[in-house]
């Protein structure tokens, strides 16, 4: 997953001639920070959180959610992980939120809520990213924090509080167009 994330970030940045600043991930022992990576400031840590607010098996995961509430649930996980490392590490800690099931792919409004809240609340992470795989080696990476304030514009999370996002199972989804 982490190798695919870094590779996907590099593919996205290659268009502008840039290279992603994290490299050479090494998985750490269980019950420790998940990965050690190389960064411009020397070695750093990369923690992972799976986005999967399950209330049962994946097969029963709902295909819809409210982006505001979903973002709040993800934010609670981020804060809990951040609190775990508060004041304990001198090295930079980066966070990767990853998705393994299609129903939990965050919508753009979910990501915008997270960007908005993470810019305003203190946490331990130097940067926060999200990622979901498209196939065995490539996926969709998103930069969540830090995020340029001017790209958020005048976004107000309260405006989307009652919105609903519907994700489709890519194995079953089809579009039929009749003449």
- Residue 171 belongs to some domain of the structure: no
The residue ranking higher by pLDDT, 88 or 138, is: 138
The residue ranking higher by pLDDT, 57 or 64, is: 64
Q: In the chain, what percentage of residues exceed pLDDT 90?
A: 68
What confidence tens digit (pLDDT) does each residue in 19-36 have? 999 999 999 987 678 999
Kind of pairing, strands 127-133 and 93-99? parallel
- Residue 175 belongs to some domain of the structure: no
- Residue 176 belongs to some domain of the structure: no
Check which CATH number belongs to the domain holding 109 and give it. 3.40.1350
Q: How many domains does the chain have?
A: 1
Give me the mean pLDDT over the 15-21 stretch.
90
- Residue 179 belongs to some domain of the structure: no
Average pLDDT, the chain: 91
User: Does 89 have pLDDT greater than 80?
Assistant: no
Closest by Cα among 41, 141, 124 to 89: 124
- Residue 150 belongs to some domain of the structure: yes
Query: Taking each helix axis from N to C terminus, what angle separates 108-120 and 67-85, rounded to the nearest 10 degrees?
Result: 40
- Residue 45 belongs to some domain of the structure: yes
What confidence tens digit (pLDDT) does each residue in 149-160 have? 999 999 999 999
User: Does 18 have pLDDT greater than 80?
Assistant: yes
- Residue 173 belongs to some domain of the structure: no
Three-class DSSP category at 160: helix
What's residue 109's pLDDT?
Answer: 96
Instruction: Domain of residue 97: give its range.
Output: 2-166
- Mean pLDDT lowest for which of 61-70, 83-92, 102-111? 83-92
- Residue 172 belongs to some domain of the structure: no
């Amino acid at each position: 997953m982490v190798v695919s994330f870094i590779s996907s970030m590099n593919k996205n940045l290659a268009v502008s001639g840039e290279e992603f600043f994290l490299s050479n991930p090494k998985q750490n022992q269980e019950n420790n920070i998940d990965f050690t990576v190389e960064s411009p400031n020397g070695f750093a840590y990369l923690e992972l959180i799976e986005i999967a607010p399950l209330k049962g098996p994946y097969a029963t995961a709902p295909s819809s959610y409210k982006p505001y509430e979903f973002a709040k649930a993800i934010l609670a996980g981020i804060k809990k992980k951040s609190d775990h490392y508060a004041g304990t590490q001198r090295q930079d800690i980066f966070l990767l939120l990853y998705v393994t099931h299609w129903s939990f792919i965050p919508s753009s409004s979910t990501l915008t809520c997270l960007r908005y809240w993470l810019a305003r609340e203190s946490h331990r992470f130097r940067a926060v990213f999200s990622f979901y795989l498209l196939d065995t080696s490539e996926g969709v990476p998103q930069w969540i924090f830090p995020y340029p304030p001017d790209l958020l514009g005048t976004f107000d999370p309260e405006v989307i509080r009652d919105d609903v996002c519907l994700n489709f199972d890519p194995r079953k989804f089809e579009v039929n167009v009749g003449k």
